[in-house]
Structure 1
Amino acid sequence: MKRLSERQYRRQIGVTMTLYVIAMLAVWPLAKAAPGLWEKVALTLVPALPMLYVIGLLAYKIASSDELEQRTHLVALGVATAVTGSLSLVGGLLATSGAIRLDGTVLIWVFPLIMFSYGATHWWVVTRRYGGSMDCDETSSWSLPLYFLLVAALLGVATLFAWWRGHMDGFSLGVMLGTQASFVGFAAWTAWRRWRRRRVAGDVVGP
């Protein structure tokens, strides 16, 4: 099985996320005005297609990795499943008892929560436990910071559009802005680490 390089993987993820935002902005709002059930279902599920591709791409990347990389991915997926399942259980119990009010729209946060938990855990396992680096592709040293900035920009476009159309309350706006700020912070932090590592390597080599 042919392996995907980090550059190829991030490029495909970036393109897919762009298509997802376009679908959410251009297609998904039409679902509410669709006259029939099947039209409503079809328009609603269009944004899910890019995310299903992301899941398939992630599965392909894991399957084509070596045993150590597979272990790091599977540990990260296990932690993400545990985190999402635990929060879903607690939220479900609180909603059932009437302590908080939740509707079906909360389900849209399940997939982002899984991906965020997976990414954070995978980074920790690779960099802390095994002493590796997430920037595996040295030919694209700035690809990871740019990837984080791309995600933040896409979320910003979606947030601005939703706010302009009046589809976002204060809580959702705060969550989205906080998420964007986190990705910008990740971009700055990874860029600083790469710059520092290269500076230290240059000082060690010397003139």
Structure 2
Amino acid sequence: MNPVQRRYMREFWPPMLAYILIMLLVWPLVDHVQSLWGRTALALLPILPVLLVTRAMVRLVMGSDELEQRMNLIGLAIAGTAVGTLCLAGGFLVAAKVIRLDGTALIWVWPAMVVLHALGRGWAARRYGGDWTMACSNDGLARHWQLWACAASFGLILLLGWGAFSDWQRGLLSGLTASLAIGALLLQIFRGRKPEDGA
């Protein structure tokens, strides 16, 4: 891992963990606060770590070489197109009263963008002759094993606290566990595959 990537890891993980903890432990308290200002402050609290994560991502891209920047741009284009299309389709389905969604569905837009950007960037790396380099760090521990460990941790927390958690907390932990497990599985499947293997 080069110095830019190491800096990214230092800047990315603390706010990302803060975001998860805020969403799990603090955000559910919004329903119990009567003051409009208090509800607003609690509702917007998760935005602070999101801004720090976004800053870390921008600094990673700005500190990368031109090829890395191009791969990140491709990943961002894929993520923006996919999420935008899904949101548009969802909007049409809601407007036609085929499905019912409330505003809480918007909470998943940013995490979906982050995950799809990472997958799109990995696909672009593969197209340029790489081996899904985002899937394996040079420090010896493959990223897919890190994701499996995170998924197992959240799954264990979910099982141990199932009875004590609210529906919101169970849903958040279930979504995190499933997303991390799916991401780990995809990275494990594509790790080390060469572009000619089906690019």
| Fold conserved between structures, TM > 0.5 | yes
Change (3 A) 1:157 1:56: farther
| Higher Rg | 1
Structure 2 unaligned regions, length at least 5: 194-199
Q: Where does residue 26 of structure 1 map in the other structure? A: 25
TM-score (norm 2): 0.78
Q: CA deviation at 1:106?
A: 0.5
Aligned residues: 190
Tell me if the contact between 2:147 and 2:180 (Cα under 8 Å) persists in the aligned partners. no
Structure 1 unaligned regions, length at least 5: 197-207
Tell me if the contact between 1:146 and 1:187 (Cα under 8 Å) persists in the aligned partners. no
Q: After alignment, is 100-109 or 179-188 more displaced?
A: 179-188
Tell me if the contact between 2:4 and 2:63 (Cα under 8 Å) persists in the aligned partners. no
% identity of equivalent residues: 32
Counterpart mapping for 1:1-207 below 5 A: 4-132=3-131, 133-134=133-134, 138=138, 140-142=139-141, 144-149=143-148, 151-153=150-152, 155-156=154-155, 159=158, 164-168=164-168, 175-186=175-186, 188-189=188-189, 193=191
Q: CA deviation at 1:92?
A: 0.1
TM-score (norm 1): 0.76
Deviations 1:99-145 (A, max 9, x none): 1111111001101111111011100111233325236752x121523
Q: What is the one-letter code of the residue matched to 1:181? A: A
Q: What is the one-letter code of the residue matched to 1:110? A: V
Tell me if the contact between 2:27 and 2:42 (Cα under 8 Å) persists in the aligned partners. yes
Tell me if the contact between 1:6 and 1:137 (Cα under 8 Å) persists in the aligned partners. no
Deviations 1:82-106 (A, max 9, x none): 1111001000000000011111110
